[in-house]
């Protein structure tokens, strides 16, 4: 059975890896790590990219109250890959394997 895509109108960026949708769904971006080195930068970049936009997110798992999902921006770019390219995060190899993500 395939997971249903979540259309997320982003209303809040909690940190560099977590967004909240208008229906109160909390999504953690699959395969992305911010770490302690750049949390403010990561949040600023994620806010610029996603706040107020509709993202298409494919659930990959759960972490506590969060849906872990691979999300695409309205223009089709992968959100995690875009953040990694902007140096606002790095790839979590363990999560990449766990969730079966494809390379950027």
State the CATH number of the domain containing residue 59. 2.40.50.90
Structure tokens that stand for 44 in this block = 């600023």
Give how many domains the chain has, as a whole number: 1
State mean pLDDT over 39-61: 92
Asked, for residue 101, whether it belongs to a domain, the answer is no
Pairing verdict, β 66-72 and 26-29: parallel
Asked, for residue 2, whether it belongs to a domain, the answer is no
pLDDT band at 7 (very low <50, low <70, confident <90, very high): very high
State mean pLDDT over 2-15: 90
- Determine the structural domain holding residue 76 and report its residue range: 7-95
Asked, for residue 1, whether it belongs to a domain, the answer is no
**Is the per-residue pLDDT at 4 higher than 70?**
yes
| 77/104: higher pLDDT | 77
End-to-end CA, the chain: 25
Predicted TM-score of the model (pTM):
0.88
Asked, for residue 104, whether it belongs to a domain, the answer is no
Pairing verdict, β 66-72 and 54-63: antiparallel
| pLDDT given for residue 2 in this prediction | 52
């Amino acid at each position: 059975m395939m997971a249903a895509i979540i259309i997320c109108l982003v209303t809040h960026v909690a940190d560099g890896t977590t967004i909240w949708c208008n229906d109160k769904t909390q999504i953690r971006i699959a395969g992305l790590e911010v770490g302690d080195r750049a949390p403010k930068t990561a949040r600023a970049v994620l806010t610029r990219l996603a706040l107020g936009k509709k993202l298409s997110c494919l659930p990959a798992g759960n972490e506590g109250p969060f849906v872990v999902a691979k999300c695409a921006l309205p223009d089709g770019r992968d959100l995690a890959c875009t953040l990694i390219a902007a140096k606002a995060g790095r790839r979590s190899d363990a999560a990449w394997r766990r969730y079966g993500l494809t390379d950027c």
